Amino acid sequence: MTSAHLDDLVKTPGAAAVLAALEGEAGAWLVGGAVRDLLLGRTPRELDLVIEGDALAAARRAAARLGGEVREHERFGTATVRGGGTAFDLAGTRRETYTWPGALPDVALGATLEEDLARRDFTVNTLALRLLDGTLTGRPGAREDLDAGALRVLHDGSFRDDPTRLLRLARYAARLGFAVEPRTAELAGAAVAGGALATVSGERLGAELRLLAREPQPAALAALKRFGLGAALLPGFAVDPERVERALAICPPDARVDVVALAAATGAVPPERWRELAFPAAEAAALRAAGALGPLTTDRPSEVDAVLRRLPLEAAVLAAVDSEAARDWLARGRHLRTAITGDDLLAAGRSGPAVGRGLAAARAALLDGTAPDREAQLAAALAA
């Protein structure tokens, strides 16, 4: 292993075992974002591996080298190899065609590496590194675009074939800090204006949007705004980068950062849109609650608590952006616990709904500073 690129690859978690498993496989290539990230001096997020040839046979040989096992997916020409404390997927090189705009691609196995790279989204993701000897190859202009920090589609019909690439364009622009080259920008604007997103299922669009929300913010949301993409995907979408930054600055560790960022830009989005995009129930509930927020009309701690504790935490973070009292609740008030429990009230002769009312009164008094200790809290509870 003499290639400097392979030397860098070995430093990636899990890569050494993959290289050992695929030792001697002339048709094994690392492709796509992993190669891009290696050349940028970044640690790849995942290893995308293809076999030019019989991927299933290569997977069996890899599993034997590791003393492990292989799970084959013959219909798709892919396999999962497990062994030696690692697991990775192998895919055969393939061609893709699109029957109609926005359709899932028709896949044909047995393609050359060049044909496999030609089906990808942007030139910077068409680089490939041969694991046998470190040979680096790619589509024409791929290395030049990487060096220039440019995002360029491979052909004029790219966004028409797969409009989810529009969201990936925003994702990569934010993650890599790359610029969209002029022709790609022109094509993206035309695709959005031409209604390309309407040809894709809500589930696929929602999956891409959730990935975008996990990218660096507010850059990813600002990139989504470009070309009218955000408005086409989310009616009512409006991103204020400063507001997103304020929300993220106060986001506690137990809140979903991605949901908070998205909520900060989607308050006016119709609540049913989250169902159309097949968002998971908890995320959709948080986004709907954030969209329904009105201004807090009180700064009394117990009243703030009564409002915010009923909300998903991510929605409460949005309320705290505009309210000092809500920020105090977020940082301190929500963590306060009374020194008494329901058992104390039962022992004092209370029962049924009176126990709940008493505990609520004790908590309110604690938050408002009138019952700092157990004795005072019990008194407040019994007086309720």
Paired tokens of 147:
């060096």
Phi, psi (deg, nearest 5) at residue 352? 60, -140
Contact between 2 and 134 under an 8 Å Cβ cutoff? The reply is yes
Residue whose pair of structure tokens reads 């430093």 in the numeric block: 11
pLDDT at 85: 85
What's the confidence (pLDDT) of residue 321? 96
Token reading at 230: 């955000």
Dist CA 134 CA 3 (whole Å): 5
Q: Which amino acid is at 181?
A: E
pLDDT tens across 318-369, in order?
A: 999 999 999 999 999 999 999 999 999 999 999 999 999 999 999 999 999 9
The distance from CA 79 to its chain's CA centroid, rounded to whole angstroms, is: 25
Please determine, for residue 1, whether its predicted confidence score (pLDDT) is greater than 60. Answer: no
- pLDDT of 315 over the 70 cut: yes
Does residue 384 have a pLDDT over 70?
yes
Element spanning 301, H or E: helix 301-308
Q: Which two tokens stand for residue 201?
A: 């299922």
pLDDT for the residue 100: 78
Q: Considering only CA atoms, which of 77, 154, 163, 156 is closest in space to residue 115?
A: 154
DSSP state of 203: H
- CATH of region 149-233: 1.10.110.30
pLDDT over 90 at 76, yes or no: no
Position 2 pLDDT exceeds 70: no
What gap in Å lies between CA 227 and CA 259, rounded to an integer? 23
Q: Distance between CA atoms of 262 and 264, rounded to whole angstroms?
A: 5
Residues 6+ apart with CB under 8 A from 36: 124, 125, 127, 146
What's the rounded mean pLDDT across residues 180-196?
Answer: 97
Please tell me the predicted confidence (pLDDT) of residue 101.
76
Q: List C-alpha distances in Å: 336 to 175, 260, 373.
A: 38, 23, 12
Q: Which fold has domain 1-141?
A: Beta Polymerase; domain 2 (3.30.460)
The gap from C-alpha 279 to its chain's centroid, in whole angstroms, comes to 12
Q: pLDDT tens digits, residue range 29-54?
A: 999 999 999 999 999 988 999 999 99
> What is residue 349's DSSP assignment?
T
Q: Does the pLDDT of residue 167 top 80, yes or no?
A: yes
